[in-house]
Chains A and B, each alone.
Chain A
Amino acid sequence: MRPRSLTLARLVRHDLAISWRRLCGFLRAKTTTRALIVLGLASAVLHLAAWPLALGLLALEARDGAVALDGLGFVIVLPWLMSQGLTGATRALYSRGDLDLLLSAPLPPQKILASRALAVGIESFGAVGMFLLPVVNMAALLGGARWLAVYPALASAVLMATGASFAATLGLFRLLGPKRTRAATQVIATLVGAWFVICAQIFNFIPADSQKALREALAHPAPGSWLDPQGALWLPARAAAAEGRALALWVLLGCGAFVLAVRALGPAFARGALIAAGEGRARATTRDARFRCERAGALRRKEWRLLARDPYLLSQILLQSLYTLPVALIIWKSLGPNGSVALSVAPALVAIAAQLSAALAFLAGSSEDAGDFVATAPVAPGEILRRKIEAIAVPVALLLALPLAGVAFAAPRIGLVTFLCAAAGAASTATLNFWKPLENRRGDLIKTHAQNKLVGLVEHGLSICWALAALLLCLGSWMALAPIAIALALLWANKPRARRVKAFAPA
């Protein structure tokens, strides 16, 4: 008699238990109670912070109507969900964990995919809902229960985005092969996630006449046009605005798309997971090169090799550049007709240098699989840190050389200030990341790909400080000393205490 396999509910429960443990690890909570307390506190803070936002939303709703407002919400949330879904689908396909066990068990592939996709969907719902739902709750409290329709509308959007993400990932897998798909989905997830920021900037810089025409079309859409709120495109917005039929249809569509995706993609997912498992064993080779082990060079070369072979390199570089470049446009615009391009580009270049350096240092730090082994070598920890920073500095300098040269050509003084602040910013964020490495092993990092959020915040603080210092120095203001002092204080506060380096030091 054929044994009965696990039910889908049991599989999902298993996946959720793993996700929960990962979340506890991320929160550094050793017990479930402690994790719940941390989450409760975070939720209370987010609800308090959401209060003024909810008031603002209610005012906007009164002016523009609920459908227009929710439409704008979906323009932001859907790409965010797609970005989350693409990252989750890639992780589900490539991370091994218990996938080998499930694939070797007598389970239909649809069931395995359904459990993995549901877990990804629930994680996406949690990630987006953590910020969105406190605002919704507050708006419901202040403006009425109709806001609670956002819950099922969001859940349906999550199901649809997750199904689409798995379809896109498996499509790319078939098109590009296992080697390139991971990098490609990371890049696409970054671009999709950043698209709202990019679109907002494009809107800011299109001619005033075109802006006016677009606003007019949004305010008074022609019936039957794509901006008409009664059109199919606006279905999710009408669902979130608690229109009964639209909500029912949207939920039906979301569930249907998810079930269809799981049924159609199950075998492709199982095949893909097996091929992805083999990819790790397909041995990438290098060519014979001269054996050079002069210490400084050997330490730097090892970092470059690890960076160049990191599947997250491209997406990290893109992410930092995409989110920082609009800063230049904003400063350029805010300086008005008297503003120079060099002056407006300077702080953005400094911020990019700092962020890029931080991203590379994060990757280098997280790929340090043999930290204990390095610690047994007769090399002072200070030298190892110095060589790592040098290794990071070279690609950052190469990427920024051309724009820096352009700034220096247009305004030599601004060029010099930009160069100095960029170097200081890059060195400080790289040092921070090496001082505060992730405790996870590389394998775990690929599963979570999560940086320590506190380190991320300090890193952004340092970037902003050095960018502000560059702007103020370019403007000739002594006020520049204030952000420099803050940056140095931030760095000092994060310096590792003696306990960590004690094992290296003489007693």
Chain B
Amino acid sequence: MTEPASPPDALRLRDLRKSFGKPAVDGLDLTIRPGEFYALLGANGAGKTTTLRMVAGLLQPDSGEVSICGIDARRNPLEAKALTAWLPDEPLLYDKLAPLEYLEFVAGLWGMDSDEAGARAEDLLRRLGLWEQRNQRCEGFSRGMRQKVALAGALIHEPRLLMLDEPLTGLDAGAARLVKDMLAEQTRQGVAVVLTTHILEVAEKLADRIGIIADGKLIAEGDLAQLRRLSAIASASLEDVFLDLTARGVAA
């Protein structure tokens, strides 16, 4: 009897390159499996956001391979986008739309069924504590509320690959806990989550694997124990490990 074929990698980047005069992403190789929580860390300007923007289809790579759930995103961008959600650090919302109207628009973009999408929109807004504000325009919302509406927009079409750029910025402790729980739940359902953050404690607690990027290259990768071994600082925190590895520019 043959073994059932394992599902394709949620995200597979090979020799990915992008240059804006000088290299921003420089031959990046990255593999993220379905259901994995992956934290991509790096100093400002290391190439994290450029990488995510290329995966989201907002930037054309100079060269390299981008594969999402087995789909070549450069050859079949629409098929790849159908499986992907991207949540940037600055929530991209329409001030003049209410959360429910925004979700209706997003569900339309991803071609969802109205009944199914309506139910999911209600569930998401209730869980995020926004149901009472569902018909209020986003223009008066706080940063945290806007972040939650954007998260609902990213989750409504049930993506297989969820990319989040600093998702916890502006959230209070309760909301941050809620979002972390929701992300963990996504991974249990087989969704791959890629997160960039400067709050290293979040990466330390949530991530299955952590990648450290510097000058557009992946310089270290692994779980916290593996990174500690690379840094050679015994019982160090992720912050110590991160600062040590980025200072030394270790190659994984």
Contact = CB atoms under 8 A, between A and B. Distances in A.
A425 B79 CA distance: 35
A295 B76 CA distance: 20
A378 interface: yes
Given A305-B97, A372-B58, A374-B109, A291 B92 contact: no
Given A295-B108, A302-B105, A376-B58, A285 B136 contact: yes
Interface stretch (A161-169, A203-211, A499-507): A499-507
B140 A295 contact: no
A282 B58 contact: no
A375 B57 contact: yes
A140 B57 CA distance: 60
Contact of B135 (A285, A295, A370, A507): A285
B107 interface: yes
A377 B109 contact: yes
A281 B140 contact: yes
A280 B139 contact: yes
Contacts of A221: none
Contacts of B114: 290-294
A375 B77 CA distance: 11
Interface residues of B, number: 48
Interface residues of A, number: 43
Given A442-B95, A502-B60, A372 B88 contact: yes
Interface string B69-101: 000001111110110111010001111111011
Contact of A380 (B78, B82, B97, B134): B78
A132 to B, nearest CB: 38
Q: Chain A interface mostly helix, strand, loop or mixed? A: loop
A493 interface: no
Contact of B96 (A288, A297, A305, A376): A305
Contacts of A503: 57-60
Contact of B79 (A283, A302, A378): A378
B105 A376 contact: no
A100 interface: no
A505 B77 contact: yes
B137 A283 contact: yes
Given A299-B108, A302-B97, A309-B96, A375 B117 contact: no
A21 to B, nearest CB: 22
Nearest to B95: A369
B20 to A, nearest CB: 14
A298 B109 contact: yes
Interface string B95-124: 111101100111111111110011001000
A378 B111 contact: yes
B98 A285 contact: yes
Please name the 3 residue pairs, one residue from A and one from B, whose CB atoms are nearest each other, closest first.
A298-B108, A291-B118, A377-B109
Interface of A: 280-288, 290-295, 297-299, 301-302, 305-306, 309-310, 367, 369-370, 372-380, 442, 502-507
